[in-house]
Amino acid sequence: MLTDFSEKVQKVKSLIDAKGEIVIVSHHNPDGDALGSMLGLYHVLKLYGVESSMILPNAFPAFLKWLPDSKKVVNFFYNPAKAKALINNAKVLFAVDFNSPSRLEEMGQWFDKATGKKVLIDHHPFPEPSFHIAISDTDVSSTAELVYEFALELGGQDLINYNAAISLFVGIMTDTGSFSYSCSYPRTFEIAAQLIQKGVKVEDAQRRVYNTFSADRMRLLGYALEKKMRVFSEHNAAYISLTRKELVSFNHKIGDTEGLVNQPLAIQGIVLSALFVENDGYIKVSLRSRGQFPANKLCKEFFNGGGHINAAGGKSFHSLEETEKLFEKALHQYHNELTQE
Ligand code: 5GP
Ligand code: MN
């Protein structure tokens, strides 16, 4: 745990004890940890006695809709006026699961301009210095884990009810690939156990998050693996790329490509996997790696992005074909790091 964790939480406590509006924001294309930490914090603050508003830059995947109070989240894309007003009026703005306003896309400029105090709770490396209080720790599995520690420090177990617990559990579960990576510390499992004591049903959470594919989504997965995956055994790498047209032909919904980038890592020997998805005006890039290979470094250098060592993302402003070529170039450049034991 961070050495100055208690002092930081005390500072946050005095901010939220003072009168005024509180908002919680998280990143564009929110994942399970983004929404899970946001809802977890919302429920913790509610039990502490303060109400807050939640705002996301765009929609979260349908497989997370069952999380308690997810309907209360304001979607900036659909309701910009409401989102802007909330951001402008906030006395405290919690930023969870991201550490640079650029990760909020268009909403970032409103966050930047906000005059309220900005509190970061996050586990990504290299946080921007613009936050008033930064609870930033890369040695935790997920932001949800850090929100749990924050709750304990703020007011103990009483601040965690079932609603907070299930939200935080889903954050940890999704960010660790169901406890298979980024969870080498016993503390992650201790916290998971405590959340189970609050009523979380593991099988239920698994089923609701992972076994909710539409038939179209399952067919898209099959198509992507069979027709669109290229394996570069000589570099221990692989990528999958999908055009907008292909997505449309599978009746694509937000979240349908979630997890797809992990699939090639199940091939023996593969150290780096990439997913390129055509969007309006750019190619969304996702990278996943094993061991010490720095996916974030490659992503920053080639794809205007960043992230964690084993999970990174970014954007390419080239065509899909050029993006694939760029990736092949990156594979040559990183050949030694990809092939070392
Ligand atoms: P994903 O591939 O799931 O979109 O992103 C994986 C991780 O990469 C995220 O948790 C986040 O840390 C990081 N990431 C994704 N997109 C971006 C981006 O555009 N810029 C930066 N700096 N990081 C990103
Ligand atoms: Mn996360």
Given the CA of residue 175, which atom of ligand 1 is nearest to it?
A: 10
Q: Collapsing DSSP states into helix, strand and coil, what is residue 95?
A: strand
Q: Return the bridge partners of 24, or none.
A: 54, 94
Per-residue pLDDT of the chain (341 residues; tens, 9 = 90+): 788 999 999 999 999 999 999 999 999 999 999 999 999 999 999 999 999 999 999 999 999 999 999 999 999 999 999 999 999 999 999 999 999 999 999 999 999 999 999 999 999 999 999 999 999 999 999 999 999 999 999 999 999 999 999 999 999 999 999 999 999 899 999 999 999 999 999 999 999 999 999 999 999 999 999 999 999 999 999 999 999 999 999 999 988 999 999 999 999 999 999 999 999 999 999 999 999 999 999 999 999 999 999 999 999 999 999 999 999 999 999 999 999 87
DSSP state of 106: T
Q: Is 108 in the pocket of ligand 1 (CB under 6 A)?
A: no
Q: Is 315 in the pocket of ligand 1 (CB under 6 A)?
A: yes
Gap from CA of 142 to ligand 2 centroid (Å): 5
Give me the pLDDT at residue 338, please: 98
Angle between helices 143-155 and 32-48 (to 10 degrees): 10
Gap from CA of 145 to ligand 2 centroid (Å): 9
**Strands 90-96, 21-25: parallel, antiparallel or unpaired by DSSP?**
parallel
Q: Where are the domains of the chain?
A: 5-209, 215-339
At 34, list the tokens. Answer: 């983004």
First to last CA, the chain: 31
The dihedral through the CA atoms of 120, 139, 311, 316 has a sign that is positive
Give me the pLDDT at residue 1, please: 77
Ligand nearest the Cα of residue 97 is 2
Q: Is 305 in the pocket of ligand 1 (CB under 6 A)?
A: yes
Cα(41)–Cα(152) distance, integer angstroms: 12
Ligand nearest the Cα of residue 137 is 2
At 62, list the tokens. Answer: 């349908």
Gap from CA of 158 to ligand 2 centroid (Å): 25
Angle between helices 320-333 and 295-303 (to 10 degrees): 130
Given a contact cutoff of 8 angstroms between Cβ atoms, the answer to whether 9 and 119 are in contact is: no
Instruction: Write the CA distances from 61 to 164, 266, 309, integer angstroms.
Output: 19, 24, 24
Residue closest via CA to ligand 1's atom 12 equals 307
Q: Is 127 in the pocket of ligand 1 (CB under 6 A)?
A: no
Given a contact cutoff of 8 angstroms between Cβ atoms, the answer to whether 38 and 74 are in contact is: no
Q: Is 313 in the pocket of ligand 1 (CB under 6 A)?
A: yes
The dihedral through the CA atoms of 207, 208, 214, 217 has a sign that is negative
Residue closest via CA to ligand 1's atom 5 equals 313
Task: Evaluate whether the domain defined by 5-209 bears CATH number 3.50.30.30.
Answer: no
Ligand nearest the Cα of residue 288 is 1
Residue closest via CA to ligand 1's atom 8 equals 312
Residue from 102, 35, 92 nearest 63 by CA: 35
Given the CA of residue 287, which atom of ligand 1 is nearest to it?
A: 2
Q: What is the 3-state secondary structure (H, E, C) of 246-296?
A: HHHHCCCCCCCCCCHHHHHHHCCCCCEEEEEEECCCCEEEEEEECCCCCHH
Cα(36)–Cα(65) distance, integer angstroms: 11
Give me the pLDDT at residue 2, please: 87
Give the helix/strand (H/E) hosting 120.
strand 117-122
Which ranges of the chain would DSSP assign to H, the alpha helix? Answer: 5-17, 32-48, 80-89, 107-113, 143-155, 162-175, 186-197, 202-210, 215-227, 244-249, 295-303, 320-333, 335-339
Phi, psi of 318 (to 5 degrees): -95, 180
Gap from CA of 166 to ligand 1 centroid (Å): 24
Q: Is 171 in the pocket of ligand 1 (CB under 6 A)?
A: no
At 332, list the tokens. Answer: 């040559």
Cα(106)–Cα(94) distance, integer angstroms: 18
Phi, psi of 336 (to 5 degrees): -65, -45
**pTM, entire model:** 0.94
Domain 215-339: CATH architecture, name and number where available? Roll (3.10)
Q: Is 314 in the pocket of ligand 1 (CB under 6 A)?
A: yes
Give me the pLDDT at residue 341, please: 73
Given a contact cutoff of 8 angstroms between Cβ atoms, the answer to whether 144 and 167 are in contact is: yes
